[in-house]
Amino acid sequence: MIGHFFSKRYAYCGFLLLMLWPSVEFKATLGAISVKHAHDPVLMDTAETGQFSVLTYNIAGLPEIISSAQTERASSIAEIGKRLNRFDIVHVQEDFHYNNELYLSGNAHPYRSESKGSIPFGDGLNTLSRYPLSAIERISWDDCTGADCLTPKGFTFSRVQIGKGLFIDLYNIHSNAFNDPEAAAARRKNIEQLSTFIKENSGGNAVIVMGDLNGRYHFSSDNIQELLIENSLRDAWVMLENEGRLPAASPRIPPRDILNITEKMESIDKIMFRSSDALELFPAEYALQSELFEDQSGKPLSDHLPVGLTFNWKLKEEKRSFQYVTNTVSRQP
């Protein structure tokens, strides 16, 4: 987690970033999507039902000296890139310093957002997909605290096409970390900012929200349930693993150990979704992909557990036509 940045052995790196800080301005930006081929059969696929898999994973891509992960970062992230191939649509967070290892060591996704670079310039958010993606929009949070202010943390917005005329709006999230009152207040503002953006930009569209929200339903200082209510979203974990019920909220500070959890326990890494009038999404299988993303000794390849989900989908009886305008993508050389 980026919050580990302020431990004693990281103080010098923090000082360097603070020296750079006055020259860095963060704002919403549009980014390109690299593609490996120009013609995708998905663009003409007229199927009325289908299935795809998604994964959200904070890959702990801070430089080795300031990473809290247990394994060596370059080789671990190269291995992560290869293992991501099992999933159709992937959101990664903290993809800062080792994007070349992630993308160029065996990853085969034909559509990938172009990295914005390491700290303090990049937001660490990237999307990898088997399906065509529109250009990605990167939005920085208006509110942050501590080390989270040293990068343009925020969220991304893009659209994925899963069939002819069938689009889903994608949001990749990395919210403010820590649970002290000031940090939690900034995170609540993050959720409000995201909710407003979804209402203004995804009205009537199918939506998938995935990422490291750094918050929990069971922590009363968080407001994630408002994101669900205000945008008619459903949480896949709540539906499939918690009997459709949100956990009761408590003022107790949540435990910091986020690696020793099971599918029956709430994760700060979440997958939310909603259907549209044309496209119905059905979450089918939720899983923490911990064993898939371990090294040979059983150590996790990151300091988060990857969260995976399989979606089934079908067209509704009265399919509406969507007239989305998507941005031109750039081809890989």
The answer to whether the beta carbons of residues 32 and 329 sit under 8 Å apart is: yes
At 272, is the pLDDT very low, low, confident or very high (cuts 50, 70, 90)?
A: very high
Instruction: Give 84: exposed, middle or buried? Use CB within 10 Å, 0-12, 13-18, 19+.
Output: buried
Residue 47 phi/psi, 5-degree rounding, is -60, 150
Taking the C-alpha atoms of residue 320 and residue 206, their distance in angstroms, rounded to an integer, is 12
What are the distances in angstroms from CA 41 to CA 131, 162, 326?
10, 10, 17
Residue 123, both tokens: 């937001």
Mean pLDDT to the nearest integer, 8-23: 39
Q: Is the distance from CB of 242 to CB of 209 less than 8 angstroms?
A: no
Looking up tokens 């390491």 gives: 118
Identify the pLDDT of residue 324.
Answer: 37
Quote the pLDDT of residue 144: 98
The 10s digit of each residue's pLDDT in 142-185 is 999 999 999 999 999 999 999 999 999 999 999 999 999 999 99
Give me the pLDDT at residue 41, please: 75
**Interacting residues of 314 by C-beta distance below 8 A, sequence separation 6+:** 48, 49, 50, 279, 280, 282
Assigned CATH class of 2-331: alpha beta
212: left (phi over 0), alpha (psi -120 to 50) or beta: beta
Statement: residue 59 has pLDDT above 60: yes
pTM of the model: 0.88
Please state the domain extents for the chain: 2-331
Residue 45 pLDDT class (50, 70, 90 cuts): confident
Order across the sheet with 136-140: list the strands.
29-31, 136-140, 154-163, 166-174, 207-212, 269-274, 234-235
Give percent of the chain with pLDDT exceeding 90.
Answer: 76
Query: 161 or 135: which carries more pLDDT confidence?
Result: 161
Q: Give 174-196 pLDDT, tens digit per residue.
A: 999 999 999 999 999 999 999 99
For tokens 């009038």, the residue is 277
Query: Which tokens in the block code for residue 11?
Result: 């103080």
